[in-house]
Structure 1
């Protein structure tokens, strides 16, 4: 079972490039038609210097380019069969644009037991910087681990 000693633990940074084709695939999958995310002229008219990404894209981008998607679970001794995705959130500090190369630095931000230890909520915070070292976003996600409870 994951405990408080995991808080602060960092995992391998992930570097990913915001590519137009991958972004278009993401937009098509969601049915997102906002021209700001698809057309450079529309993006400029909206005040961007290039085509921005929609808020949830960072979560997908990190997952697409990670070398070992199970590194955290393995390192923390978590059985994947007991894992659920709880929630995610994004705070942007600067626009993320097509052509940017981002580095994601994940770490365990919190560990909270619930339901008398029947489940553990693990908060993962990820600082995201671009190719210029600008801190563009923070992402958070909550992983729910269903624990075996002694009867």
Structure 2
């Protein structure tokens, strides 16, 4: 088990991603959500949005397309990738994400816990648009299993 205490409350990653209408549509199709708010600008405007909006899990796409890859994240967090499990993820939206938005994502290790033969890490990513407005926060739990005896 490595000592990650020095990493708590430090920035792990910062990246910028420009949201494309096509990427919003691709995610909606991939998750099987045919809600026209993700694909039809006129429908979205009729609901009070200025354009189509990104589906709720779009933050993951921003990270996958612009952030750290899995191996780099493991290196930064001193994790053995073979023993890593995804423990959960939740999103808190503060505003819509639109095509053309330039989103800056900043990830921080918020907490590290040890239970039995596991390390549990809580990461938090804050997403801000080009106006500096926080539009989304993602909290992710990563579990590293201990060595099998």
Shared fold per TM-score greater than 0.5: yes
In structure 1, the residue matched to 2:12 is: 11
Alpha-carbon offset, residue 4 of structure 1: 2.9
In the alignment, structure 2 segments of 5+ residues that lack a partner are: none
SS of equivalent to 1:13? strand
Question: 2-side partners of 1:41 and 1:5: how far apart?
Answer: 49
Counterpart contact for 2:104–2:128, Cα < 8 Å: yes
Question: 1-side partners of 2:68 and 2:12: how far apart?
Answer: 11
Does 2:118 align with 1:119?
Answer: yes
In structure 2, the residue matched to 1:144 is: 143
Does 2:42 align with 1:38?
Answer: no
Question: 1-side partners of 2:118 and 2:26: how far apart?
Answer: 35
Question: 2-side partners of 1:69 and 1:15: how far apart?
Answer: 18
Alpha-carbon offset, residue 69 of structure 1: 4.2
Question: 2-side partners of 1:87 and 1:16: how far apart?
Answer: 23
TM-score by length of 2: 0.91
Counterparts of residues 1-150 of structure 1 (less than 5 Å): 1-2=1-2, 3-66=4-67, 68-114=69-115, 116=116, 118-148=117-147
Question: 2-side partners of 1:29 and 1:92: how far apart?
Answer: 21
Report how many aligned residue pairs link the two structures. Answer: 148
Counterpart contact for 1:63–1:69, Cα < 8 Å: no
CA shift digits 1:124-145 (9 cap, x unpaired)? 0011100111111111111111
Question: Cα RMSD (Å) of the superposition?
Answer: 1.6
